[in-house]
């Protein structure tokens, strides 16, 4: 491991001291100090020297550097103004890296990808996401239908397990269906909390989302489909009939029961036992 790598504990400490940088809890800042894990994250994205990479929250540039070594271009969004001069310094050996000061939740990422990676066939999102905004960022990236092949993110282990979960498991819920509607989801490996400064309270996991060209189910109205899914998980212990009756007070219970039976779904089942196909069928019947 060369001393040049940003992610060594020694070099990270030196950079933080040089700039007098203090961590902001409100921004969920935890920097990785293990180069091997960073390389494995880049491996999981299967990028090459012709790929482009979008990063969110580069911190002091530890992951950015590993991406820069293996891709043609990197564009990173950093919300913390204090890190911009640090990144200019640490990433100075990599002219093909562009850092944008901004909140990824408030910018048009799709427009940026089309502009910055115009003639590139292969673009990946690779990021170590702050825990407190993981879900909003992921859902924004998926819903904007970015022209990217994959999204590889380090997130809280528990959230990664929820996103990748299948029916009839305790982790399966509306988030699993929302993510898997847009992408194939898998947990690649887990990351212990000991390889961060400061150390978070929980372990992390690398989640890989391979973007689908078409959703796995046909729904008449996407927004309504997701509404039905969320309503079905509103109270996990309740049956699907009770959850839907509560959510759609305009429909009487008998009507909902009929729709469920028409969809081939036992009204006594719970939301977690339904597959995405069953939810699609149900929402298509309910909307009629």
122 is in an annotated binding site: no
Those residues with Cβ within 8 angstroms of residue 270's Cβ, 6 or more apart along the chain or in another chain: 236, 237, 238, 239, 240
13 lies in which domain range?
A: 9-211
CATH of the domain at 114: 3.40.50.150
Q: Which of 211, 244, 264 is at the close of a domain?
A: 211
The total number of residues shown for the chain amounts to 288
78 is in an annotated binding site: yes
Q: Would you say 126 and 195 are in contact if contact means Cβ atoms under 8 Å apart? A: no
Distance CA 99, CA 102 (A): 9
Q: Do 229 and 207 share a domain, yes or no?
A: no
Tell me the backbone φ, ψ of residue 188, rounded to 5 degrees: -85, -50
Q: Do 81 and 178 share a domain, yes or no?
A: yes
pLDDT of residue 51: 98
Q: What's the whole-model pTM score?
A: 0.94
Those residues with Cβ within 8 angstroms of residue 93's Cβ, 6 or more apart along the chain or in another chain: none
pLDDT of residue 2: 43
Q: Which of 211, 244, 278 is at the close of a domain?
A: 211
Tell me the backbone φ, ψ of residue 100, rounded to 5 degrees: -110, 125
The two structure tokens encoding residue 117: 């990676």
β-pairing, 73-78 vs 52-56, is parallel
Q: Do 207 and 227 share a domain, yes or no?
A: no
Q: Long-range contacts: 201-205, Cβ < 8 Å, 24+?
A: 202/131, 202/156, 202/157, 202/158, 203/157, 204/154, 204/155, 204/156, 204/157, 204/160, 205/154, 205/155, 205/156, 205/157, 205/160, 205/161
pLDDT tens for the chain, 288 residues long, are 345 799 999 999 999 999 999 888 777 788 999 999 999 999 999 999 999 999 999 999 999 999 999 999 999 999 999 999 999 999 999 999 999 999 999 999 999 999 999 999 999 999 999 888 999 999 999 999 999 999 999 999 999 999 999 999 999 999 999 999 999 999 999 999 999 988 988 999 999 999 999 999 999 999 999 999 999 999 999 999 999 999 999 999 999 999 999 999 999 999 999 999 999 999 999 998
The reply to whether 166 falls in a domain is yes
pLDDT of residue 26: 74
pLDDT of residue 261: 96
Distance of CA 147 to the CA centre of its chain: 15
Q: Would you say 157 and 134 are in contact if contact means Cβ atoms under 8 Å apart? A: no
Q: Would you say 224 and 287 are in contact if contact means Cβ atoms under 8 Å apart? A: yes
The reply to whether 175 falls in a domain is yes
Q: Do 63 and 203 share a domain, yes or no?
A: yes
The two structure tokens encoding residue 205: 């996991």
Distance CA 278, CA 265 (A): 8
pLDDT of residue 29: 83
| Cα-based angle 97, 38, 60 (whole degrees, multiple of 5) | 50
The reply to whether 3 falls in a domain is no
The reply to whether 4 falls in a domain is no
β-pairing, 52-56 vs 97-101, is unpaired
As beta bridge partners, residue 187 has 207
Q: Which residue has the tokens 């990433």?
A: 91
Q: Which of 211, 241, 273 is at the close of a domain?
A: 211
128 is in an annotated binding site: yes
pLDDT of residue 13: 94
Distance CA 171, CA 20 (A): 41
20 is in an annotated binding site: no
């Amino acid at each position: 491991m060369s001393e040049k790598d940003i992610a060594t504990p020694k070099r990270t400490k030196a950079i933080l001291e040089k700039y007098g940088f203090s961590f902001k809890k409100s921004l969920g800042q935890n920097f990785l100090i293990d180069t091997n894990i960073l390389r494995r994250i880049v491996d999981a994205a299967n990028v090459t020297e012709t790929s482009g990479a979008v990063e969110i929250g580069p911190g002091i540039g530890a992951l950015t550097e590993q991406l820069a070594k293996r891709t043609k271009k990197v564009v990173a969004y950093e919300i913390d103004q204090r890190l911009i001069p640090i990144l200019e310094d640490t990433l100075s050996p990599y002219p093909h890296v562009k850092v944008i000061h901004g909140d990824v939740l408030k910018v048009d990422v799709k427009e940026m990808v089309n502009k910055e990676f115009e003639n590139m066939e292969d673009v990946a999102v690779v990021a170590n996401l702050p825990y407190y905004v993981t879900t909003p960022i992921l859902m924004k990236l998926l819903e904007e239908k970015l022209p990217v092949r994959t999204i590889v993110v380090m997130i809280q282990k528990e959230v990664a397990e929820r996103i990748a979960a299948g029916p009839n498991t305790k982790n399966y819920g509306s988030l699993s269906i929302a993510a898997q509607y847009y992408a194939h989801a898998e947990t690649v490996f887990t990351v212990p909390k000991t390889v961060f400064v400061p150390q978070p309270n929980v372990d992390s996991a690398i989640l890989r989302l391979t973007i689908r060209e078409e959703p796995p189910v046909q729904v008449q109205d996407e927004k309504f489909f997701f509404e039905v899914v969320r309503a079905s998980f509103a109270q996990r212990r309740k049956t699907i009939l009770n959850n839907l009756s509560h959510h759609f007070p305009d429909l009487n219970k008998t009507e909902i029961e009929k729709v469920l039976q028409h969809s081939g779904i036992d009204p006594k089942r719970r939301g977690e036992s339904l597959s995405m196909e069953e939810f699609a069928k149900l929402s298509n019947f309910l909307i009629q």
